[in-house]
Structure 1
């Protein structure tokens, strides 16, 4: 399954939406590597980029929320911290020989969680920031 930033996922904030596109590109690159049966070493650049980019993107979102006075910053930040922690657990558990079906399932479920977060919570942030 490939991920893309469809209209229902756009927040209306150009910065957030562009970063979501980059996140999906990184996720797709990692999933492509997984589906090709590549080993951990071949997947490592995509894993490194994805985990770093998630950190960077969440920091940007939190800064935009703070600057805009978004009232639900605290629970949003909690989601971000838990998401980053779980993502690191998932990718660090991928063995050197490459991912198992269970690894792919876990990664896909975690990505789906992010997509749902974008669809609900990030859209609220975008709508709030547009009013400012």
Structure 2
């Protein structure tokens, strides 16, 4: 299970709220896996992720453009790569169903990437936005 910790905070209420929503969705999948129901939960998780990446990344990118974030192009490229990963996992699900390896891939590829992204990239964006507001 993943927990919201101080090092995940960006200081932007909207972004932090959306990040917490994501962690909850991943934890719901992990909890279902622990109860032997991961296969049943993965469809809902993938549906959530497709919507989430579109909505959340749009919010982040808008904030970056508004604040003239200097590394916007790279950050957007990270987002596009992640969207591709989510789509690949969704396609794998559609073609092969909810397999145990697929559930593991969602946990590793999705949760791992996002937490790393928040800690390394999103905190830089938040710091830039805060600096712009002073």
TM-score band w.r.t. shorter chain: 0.7 to 0.9
Of 37-46 and 76-85, deviating more is 37-46
Provide Cα deviations, 1:82-101, integer angstroms capped at 9, x if missing partner.
Answer: 101112212332343x331x
CA contact under 8 A between 2:29 and 2:41: conserved in structure 1?
Answer: no
Match of 2:116 in 1: 116
Which residue does 1:23 correspond to in 2? 22
Relative to structure 1, is the Cα distance of residues 108 and 43 closer, same or farther in structure 2, using a 3 angstrom cutoff? closer
Q: 1:34–1:99: 8 Å Cα contact kept in structure 2?
A: no
The whole-number CA distance in structure 2 between the counterparts of 1:35 and 1:82 is: 29
1:61 aligns with 2:60: yes
Number of aligned residue pairs: 129
* Gap regions ≥5 residues in structure 2: none
Taking structure 2 as the reference length, the TM-score comes to: 0.85
Separation of aligned partners in 1, 2:45 and 2:30? 9
Name whichever structure is richer in helix by fraction.
2
Question: How big is the shift at 1:32?
Answer: 2.7
SS at 1:93's partner residue? helix
**The 10-residue stretch of structure 1 (55-64 or 83-92) with the greater mean CA deviation from structure 2:** 83-92
- 4+ residue runs of structure 1 moved beyond 6 angstroms? none
Give the superposition deviation at 1:114: 1.2
Q: TM-score, normalised by structure 1?
A: 0.86
Q: Distance in 1 between matches of 2:121 and 2:128?
A: 11
- The root-mean-square deviation of aligned C-alpha atoms, in Å, is 1.9
SS at match of 2:130: helix
CA distance in 1, matches of 2:90, 2:115: 18
Measured after TM superposition, the shift of residue 8 of structure 1 is 0.7
